[in-house]
C-alpha cells in the first residue's frame, strides 16, 4: 500500500478497516480531561474487554449462592471451567486440544517444562537463547542450569546480531545450532523478542534443532495473540505463554502451556506433579499414586483461579471471533503505516525492529538519540501511553483489535514535535 502522512488518510484507513468494530468491545483508558488516551502498550498489558465484568460477576454470584457446590452446580462448573478455554486456545496457537492447557503463570510453566525437557547428559548440557531475552526467562534458565550442577557461563549460549545490526539472521541461528549440535540439549527462545519485536521463524528453528538432536521450546509471551502459529504442525516440543499482554486477559492472569502430543503420554518424562494433573476419574479418591492425565493437562498442579479464567475466557472469545489471520493482516498494515509515518517526520532515531513486516510483531522499538526518557515523559503528558526500556528505547505496540490508524497518526505527530 502507498501511504500518505495526512490525517484524512488515517481516517480513510479506519473507515475501511474490517476489524474496526472490535475497538468498541474494549474499555479505552481516559486521561484527566476525560478524553480517551492513545494506548499503545498492549505488549505490556492489553486492554479490558467489556464482557469481562459479566463473566466474573457470574462466578461471584455462583460462589455467593452455592459455596463449594459451585464446583459442580455453577452455571459453568468450576471443576471443568478451564476446559471452556481449550478449543479457543488450541486454535490460537495452532495445536490439538489435547496439547494445550491454561494453568499457572508463565515462569512457573517454564520451570515445569524445563524440569521435563531440559535433561543435560554427557557433552549435551547447553541451552541456546535469543539475544536480550526477557529477564525472567534468563533467571529461570540460569536456575535450571544450576539445578543440574551446570555453569551458566558455559552452558547458556546467547545469540548475537552481527556488528551494526539489531536483529538476528535466520542463517546465523541455524549455523550456531549446527555448530553446537553435539553440546546443545535445549533450544529455548521467544517466539517474538520482547525488546526488539523480532519474530523468529519457529518452524525452521524447530526443524533444524530437532535434526541436531535438540529439544525445542518457545516462550510465546509476545507471540500469543500477536502472530498466527501452528505449533503442532511445526513439531515444536513445548511452549509457554502469558495471557495479559496481547491476549488481554488482565493483569497477572493465568498463563498457557503447549506440549506436543508425542510427549503427552510418555511415562519416561520426569515432571513435577500436582493433584490437578492426576487422572480425572480417580482425582477425588485422594489416592497415593499419581496417574497423569494424557496430554498437556497432565502437567497441571493445582485447581485454577476461576476469576482469572473467567476474564481470560471473555478475551479468548473475542480473539476466536476475529481470527488470528485477520488480526495479523491489520497488524502488518498498522506497523507498516507507523514505520512510514516515523520516516516522514525526519527526526534523529533508529528503529530496532525488523523493517520487513513479516519479521516483526505488532511493535516497533525506537532507539532515541539523546534524552529518550524526556521524550517518553512528554509523550505520556500528552496522553500517549507506550513503553520505556532502559537505556534509550521506546516500544510502541499498535494492537489490531483496539488501536486505530488515527492512533498511529497522533502518536507520530506528537512524537515528531517532541523530538524536534
Q: What is the pLDDT of residues 137-148, one digit of tens each?
A: 999 999 999 999
* pLDDT tens-digit readout, 160-175: 999 999 999 999 999 9
Task: Look at residue 419 in the predicted model and tell me its pLDDT.
Answer: 87
114 φ, ψ (degrees, to nearest 5) = -75, -30
How far is residue 229's CA from residue 60's CA, in Å, rounded to a whole number? 34
Which residue bears the cell 495479523? 328
Give ∠ CA 185-186-189 in degrees, rounded to 5.
160
What distance lies between CA 207 and its chain's CA centroid?
22
What's the confidence (pLDDT) of residue 346? 79
- Mean pLDDT on 266-292: 94
Report pLDDT for 145: 98
DSSP 298-345: GG--S---HHHHHHHHHHHHHHHHH-HHHHHHHHHHHHHHHHHHHHHT
**pLDDT confidence bin for 267, thresholds 50/70/90:** confident
Query: Does pLDDT of 1 surpass 90?
Result: no
Give the tens place of pLDDT for each residue, 306-345. 999 999 999 999 999 999 999 999 999 999 999 999 999 8
Distance CA 266, CA 199 (A): 31
249 with 219: CB under 8 angstroms? no
pLDDT of residue 188: 98
- Band the pLDDT of 179: cuts 50, 70, 90: very high
- Identify the bridge partners of residue 52 per DSSP, sorted by sequence position: none
Rounded CA-CA distance 79/345 in Å is: 55
What secondary structure, in 3-state letters, does 199-222 show?
A: ECCHHHHHHHHHHCCCEEEEECCC
pLDDT in tens, 186-202: 999 999 999 999 999 99
My answer on whether omega of the bond before 412 falls inside 30° of 0, hence cis, is no
pLDDT band at 371 (very low <50, low <70, confident <90, very high): confident
Phi first, then psi: give them for residue 68, nearest 5 degrees: -65, -25
Rg, C-alpha atoms of the chain? 22
Distance CA 299, CA 278 (A): 9
Q: Could you tell me the domains of the chain? A: 7-36+323-419 (3.90.1150.10), 90-304+312-321 (3.40.640.10)
* Range 213-220 average pLDDT: 98
- Mean pLDDT, to the nearest integer, of 240-247? 98
pLDDT at 198: 97
Residue 384's pLDDT is what? 96
| pLDDT over 90 at 369, yes or no | no
Closest CA to 265 of 300, 298, 287: 298
The beta-strand segments (E) located in 175-295 are 184-190, 215-219, 238-241, 256-259
The whole-chain average pLDDT of the chain stands at 96
At residue 235 the predicted structure's pLDDT band, cuts being 50, 70 and 90, is: very high
Amino acid at each position: 500500500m502507498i501511504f500518505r502522512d495526512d490525517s484524512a488518510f488515517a481516517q480513510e484507513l479506519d473507515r475501511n478497516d474490517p476489524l474496526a468494530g472490535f475497538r468498541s468491545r474494549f474499555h479505552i483508558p481516559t486521561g484527566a480531561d476525560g478524553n480517551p488516551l492513545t494506548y499503545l502498550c498492549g505488549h505490556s498489558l492489553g486492554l479490558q474487554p467489556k464482557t469481562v465484568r459479566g463473566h466474573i460477576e457470574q462466578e461471584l454470584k455462583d460462589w455467593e449462592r452455592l459455596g463449594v457446590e459451585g464446583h459442580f452446580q455453577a452455571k459453568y462448573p468450576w471443576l471443568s471451567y478451564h476446559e471452556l478455554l481449550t478449543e479457543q486456545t488450541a486454535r490460537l496457537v495452532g495445536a490439538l486440544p489435547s496439547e494445550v492447557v491454561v494453568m499457572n503463570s508463565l515462569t512457573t510453566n517454564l520451570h515445569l517444562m524445563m524440569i521435563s525437557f531440559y535433561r543435560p547428559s554427557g557433552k549435551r548440557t547447553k541451552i541456546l537463547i535469543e539475544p536480550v531475552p526477557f529477564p525472567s526467562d534468563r533467571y529461570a534458565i540460569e536456575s535450571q542450569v544450576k539445578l543440574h550442577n551446570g555453569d551458566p557461563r558455559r552452558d547458556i549460549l546467547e545469540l548475537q546480531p552481527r556488528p551494526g545490526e539489531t536483529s538476528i539472521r535466520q542463517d546465523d541461528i541455524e549455523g550456531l545450532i549446527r555448530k553446537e549440535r553435539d553440546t546443545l540439549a535445549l533450544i529455548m527462545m521467544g517466539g517474538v523478542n520482547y525488546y526488539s519485536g523480532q519474530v523468529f521463524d519457529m518452524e525452521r528453528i524447530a526443524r533444524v534443532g530437532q535434526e541436531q538432536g535438540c529439544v525445542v521450546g518457545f516462550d510465546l509471551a509476545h507471540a500469543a495473540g500477536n502472530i498466527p502459529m501452528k505449533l503442532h504442525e511445526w513439531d515444536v516440543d513445548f511452549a509457554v505463554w502469558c495471557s495479559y499482554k496481547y491476549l488481554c486477559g488482565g493483569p497477572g492472569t493465568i498463563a498457557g502451556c503447549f506440549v506436543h502430543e508425542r510427549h503427552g503420554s510418555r511415562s519416561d518424562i520426569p515432571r513435577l506433579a500436582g493433584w490437578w494433573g492426576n487422572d480425572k476419574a480417580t482425582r477425588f479418591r485422594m489416592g497415593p499414586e499419581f496417574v497423569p492425565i494424557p496430554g498437556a493437562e497432565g502437567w497441571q498442579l493445582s485447581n485454577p483461579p476461576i476469576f482469572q479464567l473467567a476474564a481470560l475466557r471473555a478475551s479468548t472469545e473475542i480473539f476466536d471471533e476475529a481470527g488470528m489471520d485477520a488480526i495479523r493482516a491489520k497488524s502488518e498494515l498498522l506497523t507498516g503505516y507507523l514505520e512510514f509515518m516515523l520516516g516522514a517526520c525526519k527526526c534523529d532515531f533508529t528503529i530496532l525492529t525488523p523493517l520487513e513486516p513479516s519479521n516483526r510483531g505488532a511493535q516497533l522499538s525506537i532507539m532515541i538519540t539523546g534524552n529518550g526518557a524526556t521524550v517518553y515523559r512528554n509523550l505520556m503528558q500528552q496522553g500517549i501511553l507506550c513503553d520505556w526500556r532502559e537505556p534509550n528505547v521506546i516500544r510502541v505496540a499498535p494492537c489490531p483489535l483496539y488501536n486505530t490508524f488515527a492512533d498511529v497518526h497522533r502518536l507520530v505527530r506528537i512524537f515528531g514535535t517532541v523530538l524536534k
